[in-house]
Amino acid sequence: ETVRLDVHGMSCTSCAMRVEKRLNQLDGVEASVNYATEKATVHVPEGTDHQVLLDAVAATGYEATLPDAHRGHGDHAGHEGLHGAASMRRRAVVSAVLSLPVLVLSMVPATQFTGWQWVALALATPVVTWGAWPFHRATATNARHGAATMDTLVSVGVGAAYLWSLWALFFGGAGMLGMRMEWSFTGGGSHEIYLEVAGVVTTFVLAGHYLEANAKKQSSAALRALMDLGAKTVTLLRDGREEQVPIDDVAVGDVFVVRPGETIATDGEVVDGASAVDESMLTGESVPVEVGEGDAVTGATVNVGGRLVVRATAVGSDTRLAQMARLVEEAQEGKAEVQRLADRVSAWFVPGVIALALLTFAGWLVIGGTLTQAFVASVAVLIIACPCALGLATPTALMVGTGRGAQLGILIKGPQVLESTRRIDTVVLDKTGTVTTGEMRVVDVAPAPGVEIGRLRALAAGVEHASEHPVARAVAALVDQPLPVTDFANHPGMGVSGVVDG
């Protein structure tokens, strides 16, 4: 049995690795957790209580829910939280506005007026406390479970720079009015403050998280757009009367009407009528398909010809459109080999960086450096390592790739497939309609002997103007002002007839 969980509160790939490791410790469970999609795909023995899985995720400090409990395909709006795009954007903008003056004051001695350091403290404090709060909160949560993530590096680095500055201002002489800070590569002593480091690093990391969250949001929007192709209402035939109902009220066996130009509500079989159906969203083929009584039609395709009466054969999650959306979701949830490599590196990355920072601090003291020099060097190690591009970029790129493909009508079966496309050197297209504009037009007219071509165009366009068939529209476009038609009749599968100009 395969169970899919939505996991909330993860802020980096290290978080996903912890959740995945915890789930895989359960008997008979094989789990894969994708940070980019915030989903876990769990293979469990038949009959396993799903609450056991939810409790296992909760034990690592995160929240998990079953997707059907609160939302449909691709809807991430309900659990944006502290790491959502809107929250990150707001914090990044405010932090940037407050940090810029601090950066200028700290780095340009000519701007350092009397008492400037206290103004810098006032501006930097909201950035370090409120702006960086998602990182501090995640660090505290992970610490309670004996773990460290990318957020730990941000929180410790920013916090160290800020706390050092507080110490220097209140106890180290940096708070004296008239104090000036000059350029230095190694730190100048206990009067040096690093508020600009705390503010600017917080701003940059927030901006990076916003871009990442926004990319995930756009990819989810592509999946929602795929689902939105389906009809929202349907005209049911009940006791010979037409009744408009929401699509959710349709059951297998219900008979419904599809008029020209309408979207077919769900998968079904034509029981009456004949028409042409645009199946380009399903097949990529721009030429409409002729359908008649007994033919199968697919939900979300468009009826471009006559009136159809259809009996529903599949509804809801059993439709082909839902299966397409599920395929895209599964593709986004999977992991390519390069992503698994990134996850393995990320698992050792954070503790490695923290250990390296401690060694750097101790090394400077051993070789005779000052406490200030040791502090500056160790904080630099933490700060530089904060945005782990390998851990963040890989899953996000795979997710955006599959989501954008779905938006353009290209279904990618999995990240392994996307990764393997780098070896493609030849592309073969089996349908000419796939690479054309999708709009029919007349390219040549061959009149019979003695028939004037202009007259033939006018007569043909006049009778076809009354038809809604795609081929008819192309013929009707031959003239600007079609002649009026009388006695018009549509002959399914054969064409149309009518009287034009007597």
Under 8 Å between Cβ of 169 and 121: yes
Under 8 Å between Cβ of 436 and 451: no
Compute CA 229 distance to the chain's CA centroid, rounded to the nearest angstrom.
18
Q: How far is 149 from 18, CA to CA, in rounded Å?
A: 10
Residues in the chain: 502
Under 8 Å between Cβ of 135 and 151: yes
Q: How far is 444 from 316, CA to CA, in rounded Å?
A: 45
Q: H or E segment at 272?
A: strand 268-272
Q: How far is 390 from 384, CA to CA, in rounded Å?
A: 14
- Residue 308 CB partners (closer than 8 Å, separation 6+): 257, 258, 264, 270, 272, 273, 274, 275, 291, 297
Per DSSP, what are the bridge partners of residue 242? 237
Q: H or E segment at 90?
A: helix 85-107
430 is catalytic: yes
Task: Give CA torsion, residues 65, 67, 71, 76, to 10 deg.
Answer: 80
Under 8 Å between Cβ of 299 and 280: no
- CA 439, 443, 447 angle in degrees (round to 5)? 135
Under 8 Å between Cβ of 383 and 164: no
Single out the residue of 302, 265, 262 nearest to residue 286, CA to CA.
Answer: 302
Q: From residue 485, how far is each of 305, 322, 335, 466 by CA, in Å?
A: 19, 43, 61, 8
Give φ, ψ of 456 to 5 degrees.
-60, -40
Compute CA 142 distance to the chain's CA centroid, rounded to the nearest angstrom.
26
Three-class DSSP category at 278: strand
Q: Which amino acid is it at 339?
A: Q
Evaluated on CA atoms 101, 103, 104, 110, the torsion sign reads: positive
Looking at 27, 239, 425, 430, which residue is catalytic? 430
Active site residues: 430
